Amino acid sequence: MSTRRSEITRTTKETQIVLALDLDPDLASDPESKVETPVPFLTHMLEAFARHGVFGLQVHAEGDVEVDPHHTVEDVGLCLGAAFKEALGDRAGIRRYGSATIPMDDTLVTSAVDFCGRPAFVWNVEGLDGRIVGTFDCSLAHEFWAAFTTRAECNLHVLLHHGQNPHHIIEAIFKACARAADAAVAVDLRLKGAVPSTKGTLTT
């Protein structure tokens, strides 16, 4: 049974979120990921993230989307980042680094992550501001991943090489981040449980 699991609850006047993460789901026996949010495109992206990162993910989110979906999108990003931090514990034995380049039709995106214990976020993505997918303000993709980075305490770099379709761009970003995170949290047996840092810690 996996021990790299976490559950995060966030309750404010703007959002109510419960999020559970399993970094090592048993696909033969564990329930499939289930995501419920009041922002349909965010729901779709989180489902893609779970599927392509091979993570167990359960999300139930409510929020004041009648005001603006911003609060809900950002707060789910905070919760997902916090869930990674908790599930990784002292980060001993993990590969720590991961990267992935994902094509999606006209679009090509690279994501690189380092679960180093320090938040740093670089977003080199042009062409999303002012664009809408369904009811989703595309600029919120930046807010989601910025929030994730802060709470996961990781370095995250996202680079759009090229692409025009905003749906494809954001979906490629979520899938690239999923694959990069999957590679970074994987256990490296050669480390024999050691922390992959010359400092001896990735949490202080």
Q: What is the pLDDT of residues 146-178, one digit of tens each?
A: 999 999 999 999 999 999 999 999 999 999 999
Domain spans, the chain: 5-191
- 10 in Cβ contact with 78 (< 8 Å): yes
Q: Is the pLDDT of residue 1 over 50?
A: no
Residue 2 pLDDT > 70, yes or no?
no
Task: For 27-51, write each residue's pLDDT tens digit.
Answer: 877 778 999 999 999 999 999 999 9
Share of the chain above pLDDT 90, in %: 93
CATH says 5-191 is which class?
alpha beta
HEC string of 59-126?
EEEEECCCCCCHHHHHHHHHHHHHHHHHHHCCCCCECCEEEEEEEECCEEEEEEEECCCCCEEEEECC
